[in-house]
Amino acid sequence: MPAAGNNQRPAAAPGAVAHIVNRLPPTSFFLTSAVFHYLGPSLAALLFVHVAPLGVAWLRIASAAVVFALWRRPWRIFTRASRGQRLVLIGLGLDLAAMNAVFYLAIARLPLATVGAIEFLGTVMLAAVGVRTRRNVLALVLAVAGVAVLTSVQLTAQPLGLAFAFANCAGFMIYILLGHRIANRTVSGGDSAGSVGSVGSAGLPLSGIDQLGLSMLIAAVVATPVGILPAAAAFSHPAWLAWGIGVGVTSSVIPYVTEQLAMARLPRATFSLMLALLPAAATVIGLIVLGQVPTARDLAGIGLVILGVALHRDAPASAGAAAKLESASGPGASPPASASMPTGPVTCPGGPVTAAARGRRSRGSG
């Protein structure tokens, strides 16, 4: 992002990587992200035998922070950010640390598919609050019914696990709201719609990743006092340490980047509909990797959540954003896909942030 003043340098031309990325279909990025969203946590669950869940959470956060630091050097944007934006980035870092911790504590006690389905309850709730339509009310009813079916058995068997799962759901909702503010603002606090075409340090439209990388560094600092001692067992076992680093890369780096690319190119309605695949992906990966065989009740509950996620709809892009994009692109020009789906940090421990919060923007929030 160029410095303020008259000494602005032109953005670097997209390189070979950007050309390859542009040739791939956007659905390939979403499907890659969907697989790694739950492959990473399933690998983490297998590591719980050797390292405590809080230790694995710290390994994930710390390793992802190191990757983002080496790749993006995100601390550079902190000095250029406004005071309000710094507070958002710090808040997002705090939420990332807490959300990863409770998510791993939840999947240590409950099936991965159950935790993932509960997580999506927050997504549908935000959509229903942001866009009050009968369709979204029905979607919320379906999601609540699905979660009720999933939790009715676990309520007595694993009450602590459910508490962690719902805490993760609450953290996910906070993440959506804070992630929305980053996705729709530049580091100077302006509307991102006015800076279409700006590129990150790698020549790709990934400025949101720089802000997310900074938040991950903050999360690593926050999580260290709680997580480093539980993670100590991995320091004397190179294989466990490499395993934990792999969890960080597969959980926090690959899905974050591929979701950025998917959201930049997929229409809003298509992306929202494809989110319904994620609870199903959690079920399949939990079955294949962890051997967690869902019962008929589990499948019914997950199915209701999937219907709720598929049914919910977010608000259309605001007229103001469309006008800015038309001005930036020129009259009659086709706006980029990111016009309808701004890029920004979109991933939580077990699933992506939807455009749900963006619907709230047109109602005066965010």
pLDDT tens digit string along 353-362?
Answer: 444 333 333 3
Q: Quick check: 270 pLDDT over 70?
A: yes
pLDDT, tens only, 140-196 = 888 889 888 888 767 767 889 999 999 999 998 898 888 777 655 554 444 443 333
Please report whether residue 95 resides in a domain: yes
Residues 134 and 141: their CA atoms lie apart, in Å, by 10
Per-residue pLDDT tens digits for 17-49: 667 777 888 888 889 988 998 999 999 999 999
Residue 199 has pLDDT above 80, yes or no: no
Asked if residue 220 belongs to a domain, the reply is yes
- 6 lies in some domain: no
| Within a domain: 77 | yes
Over the stretch 67-126, which tens digit does the pLDDT of each residue have? 999 988 888 888 888 888 889 899 999 999 999 999 999 999 999 999 988 988 887 888
What pLDDT is stored for residue 58 in this prediction? 97
Q: Is residue 13 part of a domain?
A: no
pTM of the model: 0.76
Whether 83 is covered by a domain: the verdict is yes
Q: Which residue has the tokens 């068997």?
A: 157
Evaluate whether residue 324 is within a structural domain. Answer: yes
Residue 331: the pLDDT is 30
Domain span at residue 192 reads 26-358
Query: How many domains, the chain?
Result: 1
Tell me the average pLDDT of the chain: 76
- The answer to the question of residue 335 being in a domain is yes
User: What is the predicted pLDDT for the residue at 310?
Assistant: 83
